[in-house]
Every structure is written in C-alpha cells, then in structure tokens.
Amino acid sequence: MKLRKIFTSWRVILLICLLLLSLIAIHPTFKTEGVAIKNVASNSTAAFAGLQNPNPNAPLVSRERIIALNHQKTLTLDEYHSALRTLPVNASVTLQTNKQEYVLLSDGSDLGITIDKVATSNIKKGLELQGGSRVLLQPAEEITEQQREDLIAIMGQRLNTYGLSDISIRKADDLLGNKYIAVEIAGASKQEVKDLIESQGKFEAKIGNQTTFEGGEKDVTFVCKNDGSCSGIRQCTPANGGYQCLFEFQISLSGVAAKRQADITRNLPINISDGGKEYLAEPLDLYLDDHLVESLQISADLKGREATSILITGPGAGVTQEDALNDATKQMNKLQTILLTGSLPVKLNIIKLDSISPALGSAFLRNAVIAGLFAMLAVGLVIFLRYRKIKIAIPILITMLSELFITLGFAAFIKWNLDLASIAGMIAAIGTGVNDQIVIIDEVLSGEQYYKWKEKIRRAFFVIMAAYFATVAAMLPLFRAGAGMLTGFALVTIVGVSIGVFVTRPAYAVIIEHATEE
C-alpha cells in the first residue's frame, strides 16, 4: 500500500519521467566494435570516396564506425593501425563501416581519416577525461565583438584544416571586461596548438621586394592536401649527420595574383645553371610571419606568364629518417593550412596553456568514478548511523544517484563537455542535496507533534529554498570569473541544485512521508 502511494504521487512520477528522458539522452551502449570516425580531411582519398565528417550536432553513439579495412577486421585502434600499415601504395582499398562499403585509393598515409574509440554514451568528455590541450588567448590589441567573431571563425577553419578534431572555440570574458578566446582541442599536443595559434600565420610570396601573392582565398584558390598525386613527401636523403626530406604540393592562384606575378617577372633577366637549365634571376621567396622559410627557383618559361599553377616545396629535418619524414609532414601541413586560411586579423597572446595526456585523463575518470561511489556509500552509512533506520538511508542514496543521472542526462542533451570544473559542480550540487534531505528528515522526525506533516515539509522547504537562491546567486559571478574557466562549475552546480529543489527533493519528501508513518 505504501509503495502504491509513493509511485502514484505526481512528484515521484515526474522524477521517473526525467530519469527515463536522461537515459534516452545518455544512450549507454555496449556495442563498441570497430573504430569511430572523428574527422575526414578535405581533398583526401577518404573524402573523394564519399566519407563525410560526423555531424557535430549528432549524438556521439551515432558516429560511423570502421569495422574492416581491406577485409581485415579493425575492431580496436591497434587493429586499425596494423591494417593501415599493410596497405599497398596507389592501390584500391576496401573500407567497410557499419553503414556501407567504400573503395579508396591508398596513398600510403592515413587515408585522411582521424579515428577514435567508439563512444559508449552521448556524454562528451572534457580534456581532463580524454586528454588534449586547453589555451586561453588574448588579442594583442583592443578589438570589437565582430572582430572577435571573425577571429574565432578563422581559427576554427585553420584548426580543422590542419586535421585536428573535437575542437571547442568560444568567447570568454572576465569580471573586468577583458576579451579572451578559449580553445580546447582533444588529442593535440602543446606544441601543435602553440605553433598554430600563437603565430599570426602571415604568409607572403615575394620576388625581390615585391609581393606576388599572400595566403588566404583572395590570392590562393586551391591547395592540394592529402592527395598523393599533387602533394606529399618526395625524397629523403642523409644530410648533416641526419636526414632531410623534401615535401611538395600544388597550389592554384587567382587571376589577379597570376597577373601580378607575370608583371613582376616580365623584365627579369634569365640565368643558366651549371646543369644547363634556365631560371629567372630572382627566386620566389616564401615568408611566414616575416621569416624566410624557402626560396624557389623560377623556371624561365614562366617569365611574363600568368601561371595559375604553382608548385611549393620545402624541407624537413631529423636525426632519423622517420623524424625527418614527420617534420616534413608537419611543416607541409602547417604551410598548407596557412595558405588555405590566410593570416589571423589580430595577433593573439597565449595567457595560459595546459596539456593533459590521454592516459592521465583515463586514469582520472576511473579514479573519479571510484571516489564518487565510495563517497555516496560513506554518506549513506553516516545517515544510517545517525538515524538508525535503513528506510531513511536507502532513499538518500537513491536520491543522490537520481540527481547525478539527471544532471548527466542534461549535460548529454545540451552536449556539454564534462571537465574537472563540471565534476566539481556535480559534487557541490549533490552535497547541497544531502544537506537538504537532512533538513527534511529532521523536520519530519521532530518531536513537535502539534505540527502536521505538510507543515513540517513546508518549514523544511523554506530553509531549502533560501539555501537554493543563495547558491544560485553565488554561482552567477563565476560564469565570467577566471575568463570563463569556471563556467562548467557554475552551470552544473545551478542545474544540479535546481534538479534537486524542483524534482528530487519533493519526491524524496513523499518517500520519507510514507516510509516514516507509523
């Protein structure tokens, strides 16, 4: 009879409905075979075959999964990389996913696909839980809100073009009104982020002292990237006690840039090299952030011609051939990215740069779950020892778990990255909830028999609501404090205590009412 009264209360029904909706939002799954596609590079063999980038607004568990490569199963990350190493160069490759089968042309690289473990739920993990880099940037000069929007757009294009995925770029302000940009990149090292963001990325190609073209779509209409036929590492040779590898890639110039180059070269004299080849007297000098990175000889047949197709080359060096190959690939990617996106309109200064390894993130998640479970059990034990009634301790544990699950469901629904600050907010919200439940218990079990049950609950909720509004008021300034770095803590705390006050506390009061009636 008591259970019937409990489960027919609208407060308990509301709690159950929100638990079910949270289950749908989180969507836990145990089918994790294969590797998830995180990113597909533009102009790559994978993109040409029809593979597409995951929809950023789609649930994590719906991402397309690679399950076989050339009919070799790829159920784990190691199996995928092992299958990738055995692929023949310039041969057809069959890639099978959980949705369809694709035929690609192997170029001996990564096919232009970035992969990750298959998601077990729709909960997005922040950097502390999966590893990566977080950087707080401040413009070197005063900018308008529109200029900041433009900066964010160009940075997003630059980072995506470079091949980095799981990127979060957002505006941040502090209590003094200073403007910042916060960037979080999963799986990226400190140096990668620093190289791509700290430099303004101003690219210029000059003949003598005259600029022929600059990076960005105004002058550069196409950059070959991730296509072995018009970009790649062409040779690696021993040099200076180590190795040097040369990269090259094709670009296309706009008609205006091609005409500008023709005008500059029209009157240049022609020199003949020792090998008998004819070149113009002035080379094409490539400058990145005003530093000369490469000088290219200009063939004599380009004199005065409006050539729209240009071949860009450059070196990479290392102690071993593999190091040189990696350095050349990195330099080529960086140059391609800046040619595609152009320079940032304003120089950015790095205020704070943090990096967390994936291994540390995984260990933190495991330890956080274990610590959370022990904390909940410890709270339940203390409540039991205090009131000596199991029917009071168990509902408190159920309520804590319910608040946690609904908060996680809300985070999954709005696609919020759960970071360290967000987890701290959950702990704060659940701790506040336990305090509120103790207030309810003490009121219900008080010896003041002349108060009816409803009056006791009303008195308890007066205290609870006062504490609730005080907590919310204390959290509001944190949305801007620390340049927005504490937003996760403030948001999750407010959401958690709101769920408790308006959903779980009323349901808990109903449970306690029927559990304690004699």
First to last CA, the chain: 13
Instruction: Find where tokens 């294969």 sit.
Output: 34
> In which element (H, E) is residue 505 found?
helix 505-516
Distance separating alpha carbons of residues 193 and 213, to the nearest angstrom: 26
192 and 224: one domain? no
Among residues 303, 438, 418, 440, which one has the least CA distance to residue 364? 418
Residue 108's pLDDT band, with cuts at 50, 70 and 90, is: low
pLDDT of residue 52: 80
Q: Residue 165 gets which letter from DSSP?
A: -
> In which element (H, E) is residue 239 found?
strand 231-239
223 and 252: one domain? yes
311 and 407: one domain? no
371 and 496: one domain? yes
The pTM of the whole model exceeds 0.75: no
Share of the chain above pLDDT 90, in %: 4
pLDDT at 449 over 60: no
Please report, to the nearest 10 degrees, the dihedral formed by the alpha carbons of residues 344, 345, 346, 352 taken in order. Answer: -30
Neighbours of 23 (CB within 10 A): 14
- Domain annotation covers residue 340: no
Pair of tokens at residue 311: 């071949």
Residues 6 or more apart whose Cβ sits within 8 Å of residue 170:
152, 181, 182, 484
Distance separating alpha carbons of residues 328 and 198, to the nearest angstrom: 20
pLDDT of residue 482: 57
Among residues 503, 509, 511, 506, which one has the least CA distance to residue 18? 503
Distance separating alpha carbons of residues 185 and 212, to the nearest angstrom: 34
Phi then psi for residue 246, to 5 deg, are -110, 130
Distance separating alpha carbons of residues 16 and 38, to the nearest angstrom: 34
State whether residue 110 is helix, strand or coil.
coil
Q: Which residues pair with 244 in a beta bridge?
A: 237, 317
372 and 390: one domain? yes
Residue 90 lies in domain: 35-120
pLDDT of residue 5: 75
Q: Residue 508 belongs to a domain with what CATH number?
A: 1.20.1640.10
220 and 185: one domain? no
366 and 398: one domain? yes
Q: Residue 56 belongs to a domain with what CATH number?
A: 2.30.42.10
Residues 6 or more apart whose Cβ sits within 8 Å of residue 98:
34, 64, 65, 67
- Domain annotation covers residue 339: no
Radius of gyration of the chain (CA): 30
Q: Residue 147 belongs to a domain with what CATH number?
A: 3.30.70.3400
Among residues 46, 28, 45, which one has the least CA distance to residue 37? 46
* Cα 38 to chain centroid, rounded: 10
State whether residue 404 is helix, strand or coil.
helix
Among 304, 335, 356, identify where a domain stops: 356
pLDDT at 450 over 50: no
- Provide the number of structural domains found in the chain: 4
Neighbours of 413 (CB within 10 A): 14
- Domain annotation covers residue 341: no
Among residues 104, 60, 61, which one has the least CA distance to residue 84? 104
State whether residue 456 is helix, strand or coil.
helix
- Domain annotation covers residue 343: no
510 and 383: one domain? yes
156 and 253: one domain? no
Pair of tokens at residue 480: 């801007």
Residues 6 or more apart whose Cβ sits within 8 Å of residue 365:
125, 129
Among 71, 91, 120, identify where a domain stops: 120
- Domain annotation covers residue 269: yes
471 and 370: one domain? yes
Residues 6 or more apart whose Cβ sits within 8 Å of residue 276:
none
pLDDT of residue 18: 93
504 and 438: one domain? yes
Residue range 182-197, pLDDT digits in tens: 887 765 556 666 666 6
- Domain annotation covers residue 333: no
Residues 6 or more apart whose Cβ sits within 8 Å of residue 38:
54, 63, 114, 115, 116, 165, 166
Residue range 454-508, pLDDT digits in tens: 677 777 777 788 888 888 888 888 876 655 667 888 888 899 889 988 888 888 8
Q: Which residues pair with 169 in a beta bridge?
A: 183
- Domain annotation covers residue 435: yes
Give the number of C-alpha atoms closer than 13 A to the C-alpha of residue 452, restricted to the C-beta side.
2
Among 66, 99, 120, identify where a domain stops: 120
Residue range 64-85, pLDDT digits in tens: 888 888 888 877 878 887 887 7
370 and 429: one domain? yes
- Domain annotation covers residue 342: no
Give the number of C-alpha atoms closer than 13 A to the C-alpha of residue 115, restricted to the C-beta side.
24
* Cα 160 to chain centroid, rounded: 11
pLDDT at 430 over 70: yes
